[in-house]
Amino acid sequence: MDDSSAFHHLSMPAYRVGEMADFYRRVLNLRDVKVESGSGSPRETVVLEIGGGRELHLTRPVPSLLFDNGQFVNPILHGHTAFRVSSLDAVEARLAEMNIRYANYGDWAIPGCHQVFFHDPEGNVVEAHEIRSPSQK
């Protein structure tokens, strides 16, 4: 099985999501991407296309997210970099093999998009996700 990954999106925290989205729309002529939000995702987010199917996610930080979801990684407080992978199971196996704790959020944010979050050696939040529903692109 192919076990490849590709950069998918950059998530930036924004307390004024609408103002930030307008800024990027006007300055860089970015266009909105329609994204269905998951039931466990009580946040304000605007998704913009940045070219080549890549996205910029502008998300209002939710400091209580860890407590709300029983996790230990908050992917939206300070933002994160996301990679779409062909086998999330393989990524999880490598993380376990390397003794790297990760937070399995399932399809919390987008239905059919299974996500795990972990920290890199510098403490940055990284997302790996796999589309597991044929209706999602």
Check whether 113 has a pLDDT greater than 80.
Answer: yes
Confidence of residue 136 (pLDDT cuts 50, 70, 90): very low
The answer to whether residue 24 sits within a structural domain is yes
The answer to whether residue 136 sits within a structural domain is no
Q: What is the structure's pLDDT at 111?
A: 86
Confidence of residue 137 (pLDDT cuts 50, 70, 90): very low
Average pLDDT, the chain: 87
The answer to whether residue 58 sits within a structural domain is yes
Assign residue 56 the CATH number of its domain.
3.10.180.10
Q: The whole model's pTM is what?
A: 0.77
CB 66 within 8 A of CB 112: no
Burial class (CB in 10 A: 0-12, 13-18, 19+), 11: buried
**At 71, is the secondary structure helix, strand, or coil?**
coil
pLDDT tens-place string over residues 39-91? 555 568 999 999 899 999 999 998 998 888 889 899 989 999 999 999 999 99
Domain count, the chain: 1
Check whether 135 has a pLDDT greater than 80.
Answer: no
Q: Which residues contact 82 (CB under 8 A, 6 or more apart)?
A: 7, 8, 9, 10, 11, 126, 127, 128, 129
Task: Identify the domain containing residue 116 by its residue range.
Answer: 5-131
The answer to whether residue 10 sits within a structural domain is yes
Burial class (CB in 10 A: 0-12, 13-18, 19+), 51: exposed
Q: Please state which of the ranges 1-10, 88-97, 105-114 shows the lowest mean pLDDT.
A: 1-10
Cα–Cα distance, 86 to 65 (Å, whole number):
27
Side by side, the strands of the sheet bearing 125-131 are 31-32, 45-51, 54-59, 5-13, 80-85, 125-131, 113-119, 102-106
